[in-house]
Every structure is written in structure tokens, then in C-alpha cells.
Amino acid sequence: MPDSKQTLEEILNLAAAQFKVPREKLTPDDDFFKTLGIDSLQALDLLTRLEHHFNVELPDYELQGVSDFRTLAGRIQARL
Amino acid sequence: MNQFKGQALSWELKNGVIELALNREPCNEIGSSTLAELEKFASALKELENNAHALILYSTLKSGFCAGADLRELYRGAQGMEKQSAARGVREFLERIHRVMNAIDGSPLTTIAAVNGVTFGGGFELALVCDLIIADKMARFCFPELRLGLIPGFGGVPRLKRDLGNAVVRDLLLTGRSFNATKAQQVGLVSQVVGEGESLKAARGAAAQLGKFDRRTAAAAKKFIKPIPYEELRQEIDIFCELFAQPAVEAGLKKFVESKDAQPYLP
């Protein structure tokens, strides 16, 4: 099982690759909606990719109000 | 009419398979234009059935299969109308969409929804009329209606109840959370999960297989195993219309339409 640092790193890598943003431009406390320039449909796409990548189920309501990578990583870590 | 190309959808009959493609940006929201073309399809279906063994529903849009009812049109349409007129309009819309859904549900053809991405609300309900759901691994299913103070209105709950255990239905309906394709397959909703962008191809493969069977036998099997829950569908329209008259709905729709939130699709 990855530790929280690894989880965060994997999320950042996945987001950078999926939305074609240079990895070095992403930091843990970024607002991913702004940094990735994504809308709600793309956010759902990201959620699905994260569920598949980490093999977890993330109920949408647990992510309500979550907009930075670090908090997102915490939510995922809690389900690993 | 073996072929049709409209504003919101198109269809084509080829080699015994009807392919109905949804194609209305941003995510095939079902408003009056889509409904009118779906009705056109439902009218043509009887004749198409004579030369077909399968029907595939799919989306040409990467964003998803269908994000459900066009809430912006619903909200704007209800603005400036007397409450009673708005309620009548909603009931009429529901009666019309139910007729379309029932026509597809009851078709003797074997029907396949090839879904991808957002399959929410009315879009989920459209997939549920089909005999098989083949999902791209990026598909997500959700009934977000409770957030608006409503229940699904296009026949979703009676059809979901027909297919799945009540606990799963309650989870989807009462929490408004979304499931990915893998979860949907685990609970028995989806028959196949395929790679990204592969659902139509897989549906075509299934349709080719169905073509090997005697049509009358396949139609009899379907009729036996998949009754249409007419009584519950009728109740659903009544409950929806009753809820639609509540102030919470107008507030919920207003919030959705005017939202600057980056996550309006999340319940």
C-alpha cells in the first residue's frame, strides 16, 4: 500500500499526464480546477481515473468542496 | 425511414442493426429538441423492427452518454409561467418521454446501451430501458435528482428496481452518489466493462452475435423476462409532479443553472 506521500505523487503524475500539464507546474496545494483548467465533467473523469488507479471507491459527497491535491490524496489514502 | 440525421441524434439501419447516435453538446441533455427526435425514432421503430434484430444506443460525444434532462431549459421554461401551467408542461413532457422509453423498452429487438462517461439522471434512465448495458471503463452512473428536490422522472427507479436489489437502488437514489463502471458491473447493472472508447465496438460485436438467433424466440424470451412496470412508472410521474410543485425544486434548479461552482454535476 502506498504511503500518503506516494499517493499524492501518483495523483499529481496522473493529473499531469491526463490533462497534459507539465508535472513540475503542479504542487500539492494547487486548486486542481484552476491549475488543470478543468470543468465539472472533467472532474468526474479525473475521479473515475483515480478510482481505477488506486482501486478504491470514492463517493462524490466525500469530495464535495475538495479542490486541492493534498486534501484529495488524504481522502484516497483513507480508503486504501 | 432507415436513416435519419437530426439536430440531437441520428440513426441508421445497417445489416440488421439499428444504431441510434446521440449527438447534442455538451452532453446530450434531453430537452424538447432531443425529445422530439426521440419521438420521431419511436414512431419509426415499428417499421425498422421488420428488418432488424438489434438496436444500439450510443453517444458520439466524449463527455458521456447523456447527462440527463436539460435542466437549463426546464428552469427557463418554468420561469414566468403560472405554477399550474408549469406543472402541466412538466407532466406532458414526462408522459411523452415515458412513451418513448416504453417503446424502446418493449421493442422485440434486443437493445444495447453502449455507454461512456457521464450517464446521469435521464441518461441513466435511457440506458436502463435497454436489455444490455456495455460500459466503457470511464462511464459513471448517477441519479442526482434528490439534490434538486426531485426523484428521477424518466422511469429510472421502477426500471432500476426491476434489474437490481433494493439496497443498491436506495444507495444510488438516496445518496445521489455516482458509481463507476466496475462498481456498476459488480452490482449487476452492466453486462460488460470494456476499455476506454471501446463500448460501441463491443456492442456491435454483441449485436452480431444476436443476429445468429431466431428473432421470434429472442423476442419471446425478452417478453418473458423483462416486463414493463407500467403501474410503478405511472406512480413515478405522479410523485415527480407532486414534488415539482414544491418550492425546493425551483430553488434547486436556480442554484444549478446559476451555479459558478466548478462541480455542478457532483451531488
Q: Domain total for chain A?
A: 1
Is B158 a residue whose pLDDT tops 90? yes
Cell 420521431 maps to which residue? B40
Query: Which residue range is the domain that position A26 belongs to?
Result: 4-77
In this structure, the number of other CB atoms found within 10 A of the CB of residue B248 comes to 11
DSSP H/E element including B255: helix B247-258
Is B260 a residue whose pLDDT tops 70? no
Q: Which chain B residue has its CA at the smallest distance from A33's CA? A: B262
Residue in A39, A41, A59 closest to B177 by CB: A59
Read off the pLDDT of each residue in B8-37 and give the average, rounded to a whole number. 96
Instruction: Supply the pTM of this predicted model.
Output: 0.93
Residue in B137, B142, B265 closest to A40 by CB: B265
* Chain B residues whose beta carbon lies within 8 Å of the beta carbon of residue A47: 140
The model's pLDDT over B229-248, given as tens digits with 9 standing for 90+, comes to: 999 999 999 999 999 888 88
> What is the pLDDT confidence band of residue B135, given thresholds at 50, 70 and 90?
very high
- Beta bridge pairs of residue B115: B135
The SS3 call for residue B205 is helix
Q: Cβ(B56)–Cβ(B207) under 8 Å? A: yes
Read off the pLDDT of each residue in B67-96 and give the average, rounded to a whole number. 87
Cα B61–chain centre separation: 15
d(CA B74, CA B252): 12
* Chain A residues whose beta carbon lies within 8 Å of the beta carbon of residue B180: 48, 51-52, 57
Residue in A52, A60, A63 closest to B137 by CB: A52
Written in H, E and C, the secondary structure of chain A is CCCHHHHHHHHHHHHHHHCCCCHHHCCCCCEHHHHHCCCHHHHHHHHHHHHHHHCCCCCHHHHCCCCEHHHHHHHHHCCC
d(CA A72, CA B127): 31
Q: Cβ(B4)–Cβ(B10) under 8 Å? A: yes
Mutate to test the interface with B, among A14, A40, A61, A66 (most CBs of B within 10 A): A40
Read off the pLDDT of each residue in A53-74 and give the average, rounded to a whole number. 92
Q: Which chain B residue has its CA at the smallest distance from A49's CA? A: B138
CATH number, residue A45? 1.10.1200.10
> What Å distances lie between residue B109 and B105, B144, B197, CA to CA?
9, 30, 25
* Chain A residues whose beta carbon lies within 8 Å of the beta carbon of residue B140: 44, 47-48
Query: Which value does ipTM take for this structure?
Result: 0.87
User: Considering only CA atoms, which of B145, B135, B152, B168 is closest in space to residue B65?
Assistant: B135
Is residue B261 packed enough to be buried (19+ CB in 10 Å), middle (13-18) or exposed (0-12)? middle
The model's pLDDT over B183-230, given as tens digits with 9 standing for 90+, comes to: 999 999 999 999 999 999 999 999 999 999 999 999 999 999 999 999
The residues on A that touch B, with CB distances below 8 Å, are 33, 38-41, 43-45, 47-49, 51-52, 57, 59-61, 63-64, 67
The SS3 call for residue B30 is strand
Give the closest-approach CA distance of B30 to chain A in angstroms.
17
Q: Which chain B residue has its CA at the smallest distance from A43's CA? A: B263
Is A27 a residue whose pLDDT tops 70? yes
d(CA B78, CA B82): 8
When comparing pLDDT for B1 and B162, which is higher? B162
Residue range B3-196+215-258 in CATH 3.90.226.10: yes
* Chain A residues whose beta carbon lies within 8 Å of the beta carbon of residue B61: none
Q: Which chain A residue has its CA at the smallest distance from B118's CA? A: A41
Cα B186–chain centre separation: 20
d(CA B252, CA B233): 24
* Residue B169 CB contacts under 8 Å (≥ 6 apart), including other chains: B157, B160, B161
Between chains, do A43 and B118 touch, taking CB under 8 Å as contact?
no
Residues 140-199 of chain B with CB under 8 A from chain A are 140, 142, 175-178, 180, 182-183
Mutate to test the interface with A, among B173, B180, B182, B185 (most CBs of A within 10 A): B180
Q: For Cα atoms A40, A43, A45, give the angle at the middle one, nearest 5 degrees.
A: 120
Extents of the domains making up chain B: 3-196+215-258
- Beta bridge pairs of residue B3: B12
